Amino acid sequence: MRKLSYAQAINEGLKQMMREDKSVFLIGQGVTSPWYVGTTTVGLLDEFGDERVIDTPVSENGITGAAVGAALAGMRPIVTHPRMDFMYYAMDQIANHAANWYYMFGGKINVPLTIRGIINRGGEQAAQHSQALQAIFTHIPGLKVVMPSTPYDAKGLLISSVQDDNPVLYIDDRWLYELKGDVPEEIYTVPIGRGVVREAGKDVTILATSYMAYEATKAAARLKKEGIDAEVIDIRSLKPLDEALIFESVRKTGKLVIADAAWKTCGMAAEVSALVSENIFECLKAPIKRVCLPDTPAPASSVLEEVYFPKDKDIILAVKSII
Amino acid sequence: MKQCSNPITMELVKGIPTTVLWKIYMTMLKIRMVEEKIADLITRKEIICPCHLYIGQEAVATGVCTALENNDYVFSTHRSHGHYIAKGGSIKLMMAELYGRVTGCSRGRGGSMHITSPLVGLPGSSAIVAGTIPLAVGTALAFSIKKNGGVSVAFFGDGATDEGVFYESLNFAALKKLPIIFICENNLYSTHMHISARQLNGNIYKKAQIFKMPGIQIDGNNVLEVFQAASEAIEDARNGKGPTLLECMTYRWRGHVGPNWDIDKGLRSKEEVEWWVDNCPLKRLEEFLLKENILSESKKKQISKQVNEEIEEAIEFAKESPFPDKSEVLNDVFKS
């Protein structure tokens, strides 16, 4: 099959959705910039014009609110935040407005909105340019949250997000942009709410989100050489969460390591851990282990970044601690 | 940009002692030389953290900070080096921060966008656009409650006036007659976007009127014009007359981030950059001071030598400093 990079897959997904549906438009900071959102929006302005590819002032709250409003009026906006860190400014419009609307008005009017939040860390960018805020958003009812880790899913989940009748937060990761993989040319979807087994195994389950799924696959390959047969689940959707897939795997292996490159306290790893303990406690043969960021802001100095961001070796250590 | 090529005149020098004029010249030169050096160090990959260079805007930070007292506060942005140097921050500690060393002003945790020097009145700099404007309002509020005569300055770019919190901050500061000066450094660009692509009425100083606050647009590349306007605004603020919005027209020579010029990317024209380089704020001051015999060639050489030595010393200090210990990553999340 044809190979595309993760960034190219996003770009193709955006293009195809905009060609397919005139109500889809792109709005947000840097969508016409040569660097701000990587290469993910290259060529869109030329093809669709500035009425549908709208670069904006730095007004995250106002622009996100405008996207919510446009969705209420029947459009399918994709509002882009080049760094998740800047989304705090838009928190009110996302949490109080977009996520509550359908429920709060008795199911009368929905918000078909895609919010694209980009994680862009490393390179000594420090605490305000490095955050992975998936847990904060997953906490909010009424908002779906997806995190693709492969080029195939990057396109398929983007299309699902745009076609969904609800607000969906689509989180992509700059560390994955150069990753290449099979991507069909046609329009296809990856269902929101379904995880995937990346490697089948019987000794331990490694459940990972986003970039950590890539690290988990590397870890599993190294563990295999040492005779440890790890199953890797890329959960892909944080909300809704594919609980059935998680339980099925843990029932088989009895051991669980969760890798999520975000803060540990009250994070996704904590949520998955609680769900497993609550529902299939009797299947566990060892304590659940979490591979996360320490509960500190992101440091600048490369030396500190090196210990701050978890890698495959951290997953391996966690696995070995319960095998 | 007619308003940015006003000649420096003797009229503007009135009341400024020669030693202060030398200090102004030295500060501008220091910012310029530090930034040129950093551009070089980034190119040589010695500095890794993203740096937003202040080259071309030196007159704004220098003019404003020279008019302030040590105890007055300024808040900075992602483009922080100029404000830090002009307010009297140590170049050694800044350079060590840029090198990611534990001796840096933020112990290597902040990098270029998050430098701080509390002792000289710079509580910090934020990379969130407009993020420090309400903080500066808050320090002004504290000064007014304490009645200690302090003045607060918020430095921000034209991009920050796209954010809602800018308007909320102006309203509250005007309402409470707080001792704060809002310094908008209008360098015409918010990352890649020209102001004309962002605001229909790009005259930022006029936005003050709706809050019944004085708003003035000045030549931000004429350091003495900045100094005089800032001095008046600061005096008003100190005397309980409330805030002022100063829109300083200026230009960043380099791109949004890093040492490149952003010409090749089609974001702005070579002619535009060249016009501003020709109207160099440092060159304008230097030529004026030499012409009026306020600065002699030998004094000029002495200042340049002194600044150069300070920078070389700072780089040496940074390079010889240790990196933070790995355990440092967990420290200082809370004050114990």
Per-residue pLDDT at B3 exceeds 70: no
Per-residue pLDDT at B5 exceeds 80: no
Per DSSP, A201 falls in state -
Closest by CA position to A191, among listed A151, A242, A232? A242
- Enumerate the β-bridge partners of residue A116: A80, A170
Nearest-Cα distance to chain A for B184, in Å, is 15
Rounded to the nearest angstrom, the gap between the alpha carbon of residue B334 and the centroid of all alpha carbons in its chain is 30
Nearest-Cα distance to chain A for B43, in Å, is 15
- If one compares B263 and A172, the residue with the highest pLDDT of the two is A172
Residue B1, pLDDT score: 57
Mean pLDDT within B86-96: 98
Domain boundaries, chain B: 17-316
Give the pair of three-digit tokens for residue A213.
């799924």
Rounded Cα distance between A179 and A16, Å, is 21
Residues B257-260: contacts with CB under 8 Å, at least 24 apart: B257/B50, B257/B51, B257/B52, B258/B42, B258/B50, B258/B51, B258/B53, B259/B38, B259/B39, B259/B40, B259/B42, B259/B43, B259/B53
Q: Chains A, B: CB contacts under 8 A, how many?
A: 123
pLDDT band at B262 (very low <50, low <70, confident <90, very high): confident
Residue A300, pLDDT score: 97
What's the alpha-carbon Rg for chain A, to the nearest Å? 19
- The percentage of chain B sitting over the pLDDT mark of 90, rounded to a whole number, equals 92
- Cβ-Cβ contacts under 8 Å, A294 against chain B: 329-330
Residues B270-277: contacts with CB under 8 Å, at least 24 apart: B275/B1, B276/B1, B276/B4, B276/B56, B276/B251, B277/B56, B277/B253
Strand pairing of B180-186 and B193-194?
A: unpaired
Closest by CA position to A54, among listed A71, A35, A36, A30? A30
Rounded Cα distance between A103 and B228, Å, is 57
- Cβ-Cβ contacts under 8 Å, B127 against chain A: 126, 128-129
pLDDT band at B70 (very low <50, low <70, confident <90, very high): very high
Q: B17-316 belongs to which homologous superfamily? A: Thiamin diphosphate (ThDP)-binding fold, Pyr/PP domains (3.40.50.970)
Residue A49, pLDDT score: 96
Sign (positive/negative) of CA torsion A59, A65, A70, A74?
positive
Mean pLDDT within B39-64: 98
Residue A108, pLDDT score: 86
- Enumerate the β-bridge partners of residue B194: B189
Rounded Cα distance between B154 and B144, Å, is 16
Beta-carbon separation of B50 and A124 below 8 A: yes
Nearest-Cα distance to chain A for B129, in Å, is 7
Q: Name the residue among B102, B127, B198 with its Cβ closest to that of A57.
A: B198
pLDDT per residue rounded down to tens, chain A (323 residues) = 999 999 999 999 999 999 999 999 999 999 999 889 999 999 999 999 999 999 999 999 999 999 999 999 889 999 999 999 999 999 999 999 999 999 988 888 999 999 999 999 999 999 999 999 999 999 999 999 999 999 999 999 999 999 999 999 999 999 999 999 999 999 999 999 999 999 999 999 999 999 999 999 999 999 999 999 999 999 999 999 999 999 999 999 999 999 999 999 999 999 999 999 999 999 999 999 999 999 999 999 999 999 999 999 999 999 999 99
Rounded to the nearest angstrom, the gap between the alpha carbon of residue A151 and the centroid of all alpha carbons in its chain is 13
Distances (CA, A) of B330 to A298, B115, B325: 10, 20, 10
- Indicate which of B162, B198, B329 best probes the interface with A, i.e. most A CBs within 10 Å of its own CB: B329
Mean pLDDT within B189-196: 94
Cβ-contact B24, A278 below 8 angstroms = no
Helices (H), chain A: 6-20, 44-48, 60-72, 91, 99-104, 134-138, 151-163, 211-225, 243-253, 268-280, 302-308, 312-322
Rounded Cα distance between A273 and A205, Å, is 12
Q: How many CA atoms lie within 13 A of A224 on its CB side?
A: 13
Omega within 30 of 0 (cis) for the link into A82: no
Beta-carbon separation of A55 and B193 below 8 A: yes
Residue B7, pLDDT score: 85
Tokens 């840029």 belong to B98
- Cβ-Cβ contacts under 8 Å, B49 against chain A: 123-126, 300
Per-residue pLDDT at B2 exceeds 60: no
Full DSSP string of A91-109: HIIIIIIIHHHHHHTTTSS
Query: Catalytic residues of A, which ones?
Result: 129
Q: Does A96 touch chain B (CB under 8 A)?
A: no
Of A178-192, B283-297, B322-336, which gets the smallest average pLDDT? Answer: B322-336
Per DSSP, B54 falls in state -
Give the pair of three-digit tokens for residue A183.
């991507």
Residue B335, pLDDT score: 86
Per DSSP, A297 falls in state P
Residue B267, pLDDT score: 87
Q: Write the ipTM.
A: 0.82
Could you give the domains of chain A? 3-182 (3.40.50.970), 196-322 (3.40.50.920)
Rounded Cα distance between B170 and B208, Å, is 7
Residue B266, pLDDT score: 82
Mean pLDDT within B114-135: 94
- Cβ-Cβ contacts under 8 Å, A92 against chain B: none
Beta-carbon separation of A128 and B265 below 8 A: no
Residue B202, pLDDT score: 86
**Mean pLDDT rounded to a whole number for chain B:** 95
Sign (positive/negative) of CA torsion A258, A264, A267, A272?
positive
- Indicate which of B45, B48, B335 best probes the interface with A, i.e. most A CBs within 10 Å of its own CB: B48
Beta-carbon separation of B163 and A59 below 8 A: yes
Number of CB atoms found within 10 A of residue A287's CB: 12
Closest-CA residue of chain A to B102: A301
Query: Coil, strand, or helix at residue B55?
Result: coil
Rounded Cα distance between A111 and A76, Å, is 8
Query: Coil, strand, or helix at residue A131?
Result: coil
Rounded Cα distance between B122 and B139, Å, is 11
Phi then psi dihedrals of residue B249, to 5 deg: -75, 125
